[in-house]
Amino acid sequence: MSKLDIKGKGTMELSGGILHLRWKQGAYVGIDVAKAALEAISTLGQGARLPMLVEIQGVTHSAAARKVFPDPSSISRMALLGSSPVDRVIAMFRLPLLPVGFPVRYFTSPDKATEWLLEDSAESRK
How many angstroms from the chain centroid is the CA of residue 69?
A: 9
Higher-pLDDT residue of 83 and 46 is: 46
The yes-or-no verdict on residue 90 having pLDDT over 80 is no
Residue 48 CA to residue 27 CA, distance in Å, equals 27
Strand ranges, E, within 1-126: 3-5, 10-15, 18-23, 28-29, 50-55, 60-61, 75-81, 104-107
Q: Could you give the domains of the chain?
A: 3-9+17-125 (3.40.970.30)
Which of 102, 39, 27 is closest to 68 using CA atoms?
Answer: 39
Residue 21 CA to residue 19 CA, distance in Å, equals 7
pLDDT tens, residue by residue, 59-69:
888 888 888 88
Higher-pLDDT residue of 82 and 5 is: 5
Residue 58's pLDDT is: 81
Residue 37's pLDDT is: 94
User: What does pTM read for this prediction?
Assistant: 0.85
pLDDT tens, residue by residue, 8-23:
999 999 999 999 999 9
